[in-house]
Amino acid sequence: MKFLKTVAMLTLAFGMTISTSYAALAGYELQQGGQVYKYDIATLTQSFIGLEPPGAALYQDFQGKLSQGATFHSFSDDTGRYVDYAAITGAFMNNPEGFDVAGFVDNPSSPAPANMPSTVISVGVDAQGNVTNTQTPVDNGQGQADYVVTVKSGLTAFDRMVEVKLNSGDPSSYQVTVTVSGQTVQLQYVSAAGVFRGMVTSTDEAAIKAGVKVENISNQFVVVGID
C-alpha cells in the first residue's frame, strides 16, 4: 500500500508538471519528521530521467523520503510563493483534464497558501553527484531575502571564506554581515560571482552560519542566520 501511495503521488507530481507549462513552477516541498525539504523541479527532473551523473541520486533521495512516510507539503513558484499541496490536489480532482498546476500555484488569488516554517532544507547535488542539504530561510513576502550560506576553506587553517547568495531580492538593497566570537565582518558583494563574500577567523561552520545577518537596508528588515 505504501509503495502504491508513493507511485500515485509521484505520478501526480510529475504528471501534472510534464503535461503543463511550468515556467513559474520551481519546487516541490516534502514534509518529514517536522522538517520541510525543498527540491528544485528542474534538477529533480534531470535526475528522474537519468541525466544527473553518476546516477539518479537526487530522485532516489526524493523517492526514498516518500517511501519512508514523507508527504507532499506544498509546491512553490520562482517568486517564493508556496501553495498548500492539499489545495492543489483538491483543485486537480475538480478539473483533472484542464488543470494547470503552474498557473494555479502562480496565481495570487489561489486559495490556501502553505503554512511555511522559518527555514526549509534545500536538497540538491554537488559537482560529484552527492546529495546536499542546505538550510535556507523562507521568504515570507515581507521583503527579506531568501539566501544560501556556503562556508569554504580560507587562506589558512584558522579561517574560512563565507559566501552568501541571495535567491531573491536586489543585492544592492542588502547588507550582509557575519558575527563570530564577538567579531563582525561585513561581506562584500562580488558581482562577477553573484555572491556576498568575506573571510572570518573561525573554523566553526555552525557558528559561522548562525552568525550570518542579512539586512534589507532599504527598509531595515533583518534576517538572522540559523544554526
Which pLDDT value is given to residue 5?
Answer: 40
Cell output for 217? 537596508
Identify the segments of the chain with pLDDT beneath 50.
Answer: 1-12, 14-23, 141-144, 219-224, 226-227
Cell output for 75? 509546491
Which pLDDT value is given to residue 190?
Answer: 93
Bridge partners, residue 82, by sequence: 76
Which pLDDT value is given to residue 3?
Answer: 38
Q: Which domains does the chain have, with CATH numbers?
A: 2-106 (no CATH), 140-224 (2.60.40)
Task: Count how many Cα atoms sit within 13 Å of the Cα of residue 219 in the half-sphere of its side chain.
Answer: 8
Which pLDDT value is given to residue 142?
Answer: 39
Q: Identify whether the C-beta of residue 61 lies closer than 8 Å to the C-beta of residue 102.
A: no
Which pLDDT value is given to residue 184?
Answer: 95
Which pLDDT value is given to residue 220?
Answer: 44
CA–CA separation, 57 and 189 (whole Å): 33
Which pLDDT value is given to residue 158?
Answer: 92
Q: Identify whether the C-beta of residue 91 lies closer than 8 Å to the C-beta of residue 12.
A: no
